């Protein structure tokens, strides 16, 4: 009986190991496929001739010029809009809320993680895309975007008192994601994790995203297809600042991004 159990455990372990290996391989293939598809779409949109053989990205300083041109051009286009815009500059570790090109709030980024997609794609292609602001298509958060406070009006001045109760919403864990029309997903996470509620919120926030990615990957594996890959940018900032940003930006906000 013990020998049969050992064989069962060994077989189960081997099957699990093979599955995990396949999962990791397919995940890497998904990144490579996304990079190739992005580059191919960009070059297919260009009018090229046989004389276009110079690799301009290899010229010293060329990529920096591309980055600056795309960044400035995107800001100019966002300044034409009437609503609040969001600028994310991970290179300089700065986030800004802008109206008509003027900053109304500036936040320092304490840490960030950028998808390898951005460094593996052709830099002309990626900065061509980032030369125009991306538009938010969806947002999810661990707290309400538009909090509602219900108060009962006093019958007369004798019942009117100053409400000095503290704002308990300051203790809410602050984690949110922003999806955009360019398929880039931005993750904003609070820097603080000193209390258990924050750590639990972070765990379930990450678990939800990993479960969503795993579900899409498993569906693709069953159908013998390459799973979709979503480029990501993860940003860590103070809790209070993250909450202000999330509640300030419109649901269809324009986003300027550079890295």
Q: What is the pLDDT of residues 59-76, one digit of tens each?
A: 888 999 999 999 999 999
The answer to whether the pTM exceeds 0.85 is no
Residue 51 lies in a domain: no
Indicate whether 249 pLDDT > 70. yes
Which pLDDT does position 18 carry in this prediction? 72
Please give the radius of gyration of the chain, using alpha carbons only, rounded to the nearest integer: 24
Indicate whether 50 pLDDT > 60. no
**Mean per-residue pLDDT, 23-47:** 85
Residue 105 lies in a domain: yes
Residue 150 lies in a domain: no
Q: What is the pLDDT of residues 106-128, one digit of tens each?
A: 999 999 999 999 999 999 999 99
* Number of compact structural domains in the chain: 1
Q: What is the pLDDT of residues 144-196, one digit of tens each?
A: 987 755 556 666 555 555 444 544 456 789 999 999 999 999 999 999 887 88
Residue 248 lies in a domain: yes
| Candidate from 10-14, 50-54, 57-61, 109-113 with smallest mean pLDDT | 50-54
Domain range for 15 is: 2-46+66-145+170-258
Compute the distance between CA of residue 255 and CA of residue 85 in angstroms, rounded to an integer. 6
Dihedral angle, C-alpha 223, 36, 187, 71, nearest 10 °: -160
Residue 95 lies in a domain: yes
Residue 236 lies in a domain: yes
Residue 163 lies in a domain: no
Compute the distance between CA of residue 240 and CA of residue 236 in angstroms, rounded to an integer. 12
Residue 53 lies in a domain: no
Compute the distance between CA of residue 83 and CA of residue 250 in angstroms, rounded to an integer. 8
Indicate whether 94 pLDDT > 90. yes
Compute the distance between CA of residue 104 and CA of residue 65 in angstroms, rounded to an integer. 27
């Amino acid at each position: 009986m013990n020998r049969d159990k050992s064989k069962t455990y060994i077989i189960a372990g081997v099957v699990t190991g093979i599955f995990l290996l396949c999962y990791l391989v397919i995940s890497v293939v998904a990144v490579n496929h996304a990079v190739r598809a992005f580059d191919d779409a960009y070059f297919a949109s260009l009018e090229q001739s046989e004389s276009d053989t110079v690799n301009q990205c290899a010229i010293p300083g060329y990529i920096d010029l591309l980055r600056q041109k795309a960044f400035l051009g995107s800001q100019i286009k966002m300044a034409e809009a009437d609503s609040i815009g969001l600028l994310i500059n991970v290179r300089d570790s700065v986030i800004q809320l802008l109206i008509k090109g003027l900053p109304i709030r500036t936040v320092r980024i304490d840490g960030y993680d950028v998808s390898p997609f951005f460094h593996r794609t052709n830099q002309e292609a990626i900065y061509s895309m980032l030369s125009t602001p991306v538009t938010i298509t969806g947002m999810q958060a661990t707290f309400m975007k538009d909090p509602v406070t219900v108060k009962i009006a006093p019958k007369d001045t004798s019942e009117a008192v100053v409400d000095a109760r503290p704002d308990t919403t300051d203790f809410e864990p602050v984690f949110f994601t922003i999806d955009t029309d360019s398929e880039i997903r931005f993750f904003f996470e609070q820097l603080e994790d000193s209390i258990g509620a924050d750590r639990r919120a972070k765990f379930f926030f990450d678990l939800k995203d990993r479960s969503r990615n795993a579900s899409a990957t498993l569906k693709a594996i069953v159908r013998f297809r390459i799973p979709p890959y979503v480029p990501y940018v993860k940003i860590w900032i103070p809790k209070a600042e993250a909450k202000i940003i999330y509640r300030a930006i419109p649901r269809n906000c324009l986003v300027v991004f550079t890295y």
